[in-house]
Amino acid sequence: DGGITQSPKYLFRKEGQNVTLSCEQNLNHDAMYWYRQDPGQGLRLIYYSQIVNDFQKGDIAEGYSVSREKKESFPLTVTSAQKNPTAFYLCASGGGSPISYEQYFGPGTRLTVT
């Protein structure tokens, strides 16, 4: 079945450690996105990539890094520089830029940093 997978569903880390969240899609979409969700707030865009080997910062990119070496994969690294990393992280993919196309969302990863 076509879709977006994120792993793991729950992730626990100690403060000061970098952690990488996985996102894979087999929808043949060019664009992929990472969002963060905090209680009582709307989803916020961290990074997006419209094409392989290219990515752009979103609203809250500080403390995060991404890579896009393959069309299917868009991993997000939460670095120790991210001040409040505990959140729910959603990956999405779509046909093109964020302003043009429908987006499909993965199941999310809930990250807890203590």
Q: Which stretch binds other proteins (CB under 8 A): 15-23, 44-52, 61-69, 77-85?
A: 44-52
Pairing of strands 44-51, 54-57: antiparallel
Q: Between β-strands 109-113 and 19-25, what pairing exists: parallel, antiparallel or unpaired?
A: unpaired
Cross-strand partners of 97: none
Q: What are the distances in angstroms from CA 18 to CA 49, 50, 77, 79, 107?
A: 21, 25, 7, 4, 22
Binding flag, residue 98, other proteins (CB under 8 A): yes
Question: Which of 17-25, 63-71, 78-86, 91-99 is the region at the interface with other proteins (rule: CB under 8 A)?
Answer: 91-99
Return the range that interacts with other proteins (CB under 8 A); candidates 16-24, 67-75, 76-84, 96-104: 96-104
Q: Which residues bind other proteins (CB under 8 A)?
A: 33, 35, 37, 40-45, 48, 58-59, 88, 90, 97-100, 102-108, 110
